[in-house]
Amino acid sequence: MKFAVLQFPGSNCDQDCVHVLQNVLGHPTRLLWHKESVLGDVDAVLVPGGFSYGDYLRTGSIARFSPVMQAVKEFADQGGLVLGICNGFQILCEAGLLPGALIRNRSLQFRCEHVYLKVATQDSPFTQAIPEGKLLRIPIAHGEGNYFCDAATLEELEAKDQILFQYADRDGDVTDHANPNGSLKNIAGICNTARNVAGMMPHPERAAEPALNEDDGRLIFESLIAGLNPAPAPA
């Protein structure tokens, strides 16, 4: 499986994504500079975290107009898999590839800590390899991760099973106390209606190898890989 990881001026989680995909999981991975207008031969695109274009105007608002994002839009329209992490999630919302927006954390603080994630659905290429009932422990690091959308959009997200991850406590209960940023319904990650584009604020690439004593994030990448390389049917 071939991955592309986008790189904008101000991206800072791009190399972490490349490391996990290439060195930990063993899949060929290329960095794609924001000025590239062709993705080339890739199976999935990662839009990494960071502070693209200095977060000027609004987080992700400038990055969406870069040449590489036009190519990502075409790729997504054709069913290609796209995962946005943190700033990548903000970019995908600004680009209209995902509904809603990420606004300032309700505490006004930059939150950098580990959270527990309830996996709200396994029915997506991003969550299908996660064992049922498994609670993920993954770090967050953001100032603008407060997911907001209007009431009609939220209703649609729920009706179409588009909520992938919700902030929960260590028992898996989705409570206001466990919500680090004020997101509606504790939303930490969603996908589009076609289920090929997803965004999440937590950083799975920072918790994806045993050397770090935590590898829950790896399950998200393994979900993607499992979807593209289905296990051979039993003889």
Partner 1 sequence: MKAKVIITPKPEVLDPQGKTVQTALEHMGCTGVGEVRVGKYIEIEMDGDADTVKAKLSEYADKFLANPNIEDYRLKLED
Residue 183 in the binding site for partner 1 (CB under 8 A): no
DSSP string, 76-115: HHTT-EEEEETHHHHHHHHTTSSSSEEE--TT-S-EEEEE
Q: Which of 163, 171, 161 is nearest to 133 (CA)?
A: 171
Q: Using CB under 8 A as the criterion, what x/- string covers residues 97-116 for binding partner 1?
A: --xxx-xxxxxx--------
Is 228 a binding residue for partner 1 by CB under 8 A? The answer is no
CB atoms within 10 A of CB 191: 26
Q: Which is nearer to partner 1, 38 or 108 (CB)?
A: 108
Interaction between residue 182 and partner 1 (CB under 8 A): yes
Three-state secondary-structure class, residue 31 = strand
- Cα separation of 208 and 50, whole Å? 18
* 191 is a catalytic site residue: no
Smaller CB distance to partner 1: residue 44 or 93?
93
- 149 forms part of the interface with partner 1 (CB under 8 A): yes
Binding flag, residue 127, partner 1 (CB under 8 A): no
Using CA atoms, how far apart are residues 30 and 5, in angstroms rounded to an integer? Answer: 6
CB 66 within 8 A of CB 35: yes
Choice from 148, 174, 209, 215 touching partner 1 (CB under 8 A): 148
Active site residues: 86, 203, 205
Residues that bind partner 1 (CB under 8 A): 57-58, 61, 65, 93-94, 99-101, 103-108, 146, 148-150, 182
